[in-house]
Structure 1
């Protein structure tokens, strides 16, 4: 559905707003969910955040590599954020356990 509307090449990326209008999606969330479904089905839909951002089909190997690098960087940032959130949760859980141990005396 979305992939059928996309142009080849990042310079021809279609903005989120344009795609939402063309697909009659009322929110960005619905568009990104559809893009995710198409990607999961094996369609390589690239995206860019620089400039006006948007979605596109890759026109060459270079654009695929650039997309992979961008997504890898985003994934690394997300995993680091999760790691720090889990560490913080463990600290809080440890404090709660310590607080409970102190009140039991």
Structure 2
């Protein structure tokens, strides 16, 4: 889905590295309209590796159309623990002209 949103501050863009797999992912706090709310959006390891977090910092303070996907999944990891994810993921970095 495409939503109109705004990243208010560069501190709303974060990254983290999984200590076990050394995979780096990110997230953004996105202020969306219709209805107005702040949504946490995950950024995949592929987008992070391609420099998406730096590109997103260039969008701070600019109202932009973001393409998001809602994901809801659960699985068992290698150690037998139940894992679950439910939330929005960034599909691609918006291009602003």
Q: Could you say which structure has the higher strand fraction? A: 2
TM-score category, normalised to shorter length:
under 0.3
TM-score, normalised via structure 2 length: 0.26
Q: Could you say which structure has the higher helix fraction? A: 1
TM-score, normalised via structure 1 length: 0.25
